[in-house]
Amino acid sequence: MKTFPPARIRNVALVGHGGTGKTTLAEALLAEAGAINRRGRVEDGTTTTDFDPEEIKRGISVSLALAPFEFQGHKVNLIDTPGYADFVGDVAAALSIADLAVFVVSAVEGVEVQTEVVWRMAAEAGVARMIFVNKLDRERASFERTLEQLRTRFGSGIAPLELPIGEETDFRGVADLLTDTAFFYDDGAPRTGPIPDEMESLEHQVRDNLVEGIVVADDDLMERYLEGDVPSPKELEDTLALGVASASVFPVICGSAAKGTAIERLAAYICELGPSPADRPPVTVQAGNTTQELPSDPTGQPLARVFKTLADPYVGKISMLRVLSGTIRPDAVLTNPRSHTDERLHALFTLRGKEQDPVSEVPAGDLVAVAKLSDTTTGDTLAPKGTPVIAPAPPPSPPVLAIAIRPRSKGDEDKLMTALHRLQEEDPSIEVTRSDETHQTVMAGMGETHLSIACERLHRKFGVDVETENVRVPYRETITKPADAEGKYKKQTGGHGQFGVANLKVTPLERGQGFEFVDEVVGGAIPRQFIPAVEKGVVEAMQQGGEHGYPVVDVKVTVYDGKYHSVDSSEMSFKMAGTLGFKAAVAEAGPVVLEPVSALEVTVPADFSGDVISDLNSRRGRIQGTDSGNDGEQIVIALVPTSEVQRYAIDLRSLTGGRGRFNVSHHHYDVVPSHLVGRLTKGSDQS
């Protein structure tokens, strides 16, 4: 593929709800541009951008994929993204390097929830947006109904540039509002003609509204228009392109990806109206304690950011980059400011699905892939030597669901951790932790399907089979009142025996204070060298657990007396005395079980707030308050026992039709109600 200047590059993300036809549209665009000879099908797993076995098995996209093509003297870097909520991390990665987001909306189902979610993400990122209404050839398709939904959900910036000619099985073309021309696709290849008589009145009305909406952005055009001079299609298009670039106007075009109807029109609009990297604001980079702005200049210092990492079974690690400044050539050496590693960019290539095409140079604004970077991961910046410049990357989406995993083969512990590290390089939205309290390896992600596919990839790519289980809740125990006890360890065997007595007092501490050990022994009742052994025995007893088997916390332990034997006493005997004395004292000190409590912040459309509050109350939650969010949303703030929200991502998605989202964090520990303690001690927290 030849080199294009930034003004001729279009970085375009196909986004929207699952099942709207994004991957089919990517195939249609590639075929229209001549980049592929035969269009694959989602149904049989032969598409360019859905090539992973997990995608083929499920018939859905689970990660972003590149599909560049050339059209009308432009290079279009098409980025096909997942539509399922579990893989929103890859959508965020695509939006971070896209200059235009094309929202694919089904004319049958209309505007669905994930389209709304991604629209909000694109708006926050300031990405230009265009809408392609797909599936107009299907039964129950309605462009008019879909357009009304778009206006209701996304505001007055929605601007239809085309109207369908016919609908459902009668869909046969589109009417271009800018040129007053009809495009018919009766025999596959388009032919132009006048607007059909039956829709001429509607077309003129919609066109007049469109022209009025465009000219208000330009004073000269507005003045001419008021004087009766209608601007030319080229003038309208140029003014419209400015509105698209500023993310204030959102053109709506239509067609059928499955039948290839009006696909060349979409490709043309992407090139004519879509902003180039040169049209976008300069990239703000961090240089030490200062920031600076870098334009997309091919003659500047080379700078690139990794937006996606792939683990290829043959090539190894592949890093996908957007070049932010300068021009990168094979064998260039750039520095990673995070790891302070010099990275040689050996062979450069573009990716079209899984196919690789070598390139000789990559200018600012373009996308490229490079293999085998030694110490560079997703989000890292590559800069010239001696220039510690960092281009901030969007933070990964916080995980919402967790499972515990363990290797199926006992000897695979080390292999599992290596595989998990490589999996996180591919997908930063996966979070892996090791719990010292429950002794589990916990993998967290964006949902059930996300975690299921992560486990499949551990097997397929890294050769590690894992078993999964629920994450155990890290319960603890504490005491509610002071108590004393004697710990006595006496054992007589042939030769030296074991003898040690430690008198202990336990006192509750404030929640979160942990552990305090005090030595008040006087008169040598316990020799000084054995006091640390008593403390060690107490600490081990705390870790082994109290009456219910959970670690004991928030306790002050005072050793104030004891006995020893000049021959039989040892560190071992006093360690055992400390353990026995502590357990006896705790049993008399009103032991209770503590459970972790999470702070939950749930954001939902206002219509769902009552259901959410009711649901949280049923989970033993304590509502702390509500607040108003953006776009009529309501924020519910609550403290809820962690055991009650471990699968909240699934339940909230069901409760709100996928429109709710939440943040969760540990807040504090609190006493488990007495009527629930029996259930815990029977092991229900382990289930």
**How far is it, in rounded angstroms, from Cα 121 to Cα 87?**
14
Assess whether pLDDT exceeds 90 at residue 152.
yes
Assess whether pLDDT exceeds 70 at residue 225.
yes
Please tell me the predicted confidence (pLDDT) of residue 480. 96
Please tell me the predicted confidence (pLDDT) of residue 495. 66
Q: Locate CATH 3.30.230.10 in the chain.
A: 477-590
Tell me the pLDDT tens digit for each residue of 509-560: 999 899 999 999 998 999 999 999 999 999 999 999 998 889 999 999 999 9
Assess whether pLDDT exceeds 70 at residue 502.
yes
Question: For the structural domain made of 594-686, what CATH number should be given?
Answer: 3.30.70.240
Please tell me the predicted confidence (pLDDT) of residue 682. 43
- Tell me the one-letter amino acid at 167: E
Place of tokens 């219910």: 548
**How far is it, in rounded angstroms, from Cα 450 to Cα 398?**
13
Assess whether pLDDT exceeds 50 at residue 667.
yes
Using DSSP's 3-state secondary structure scheme, residue 61 falls into: coil
| Residue 468's pLDDT band (cuts 50, 70, 90) | very high
Number of Cβ within a 10 Å radius of residue 15? 30
Assess whether pLDDT exceeds 70 at residue 101.
yes
CATH superfamily of 401-469: Elongation Factor G (Translational Gtpase), domain 3 (3.30.70.870)
Short-list 129, 107, 116, CA closest to 174: 107
Please tell me the predicted confidence (pLDDT) of residue 277. 96
C-beta of residue 105 within 8 angstroms of C-beta of residue 16: yes
Please tell me the predicted confidence (pLDDT) of residue 686. 42
Q: Write out the two tokens for 343.
A: 């990275």
Assess whether pLDDT exceeds 60 at residue 455.
yes
State which CATH number among 3.90.480.10, 1.20.1250.20, 3.20.20.140, 3.30.230.10 fits the domain covering 477-590. 3.30.230.10
Place of tokens 């696909």: 263
- Tell me the one-letter amino acid at 270: I
DSSP state for residue 166 in the 8-state scheme: S
Number of Cβ within a 10 Å radius of residue 576? 24
Domain range 6-279, CATH class: alpha beta
**How far is it, in rounded angstroms, from Cα 404 to Cα 444?**
9
Residues facing residue 183 across a β-bridge: 174, 192
C-beta of residue 525 within 8 angstroms of C-beta of residue 562: yes
Please tell me the predicted confidence (pLDDT) of residue 687. 37
C-beta of residue 446 within 8 angstroms of C-beta of residue 429: yes
Tell me the pLDDT tens digit for each residue of 173-222: 999 999 999 999 987 678 999 999 999 999 989 998 998 888 887 888 88
Tell me the pLDDT tens digit for each residue of 411-446: 888 899 999 998 998 899 999 999 888 899 999 999
Q: Say which range, 33-42, 366-375, 457-466, has the weakest mean pLDDT.
A: 33-42
Tell me the pLDDT tens digit for each residue of 613-664: 999 999 999 999 999 988 789 999 999 999 999 999 999 999 999 999 999 9
- Cα 118 to Cα 71, 92, 276, 334, 475: the distances in Å are 27, 8, 21, 34, 38
* Bridge pairing between strands 74-80 and 9-15: parallel
Please tell me the predicted confidence (pLDDT) of residue 641. 97
Assess whether pLDDT exceeds 90 at residue 75.
yes
**How far is it, in rounded angstroms, from Cα 132 to Cα 116?**
15
**How far is it, in rounded angstroms, from Cα 160 to Cα 124?**
23
Tell me the pLDDT tens digit for each residue of 577-627: 999 999 999 999 999 999 999 999 999 999 999 999 999 999 999 999 999
Assess whether pLDDT exceeds 70 at residue 685.
no
C-beta of residue 619 within 8 angstroms of C-beta of residue 576: no
Q: Locate CATH 3.40.50.300 in the chain.
A: 6-279
Per-residue pLDDT, averaged over 34-52, amounts to 84
- Phi and psi, residue 604, nearest 5°: -140, 160
What percentage of the chain reaches a pLDDT higher than 70? 98
Tell me the pLDDT tens digit for each residue of 330-372: 999 999 999 999 999 988 999 999 999 999 999 999 999 999 9
Please tell me the predicted confidence (pLDDT) of residue 411. 80
Average pLDDT, the chain: 92
C-beta of residue 327 within 8 angstroms of C-beta of residue 361: yes
**How far is it, in rounded angstroms, from Cα 569 to Cα 582?**
19
Sign of CA dihedral 618, 620, 625, 628: negative
* Bridge pairing between strands 440-445 and 401-407: antiparallel
Using DSSP's 3-state secondary structure scheme, residue 308 falls into: strand
State which CATH number among 3.40.50.300, 2.40.30.10, 2.170.190.11, 3.30.420.10 fits the domain covering 283-390. 2.40.30.10
Which spans in 524-647 are helix H? 531-544, 571-587, 609-618
More confident residue, 2 or 456: 456
Assess whether pLDDT exceeds 60 at residue 574.
yes
Q: Locate CATH 3.30.70.240 in the chain.
A: 594-686
Please tell me the predicted confidence (pLDDT) of residue 142. 96
Q: Locate CATH 3.30.70.870 in the chain.
A: 401-469
Assess whether pLDDT exceeds 50 at residue 133.
yes
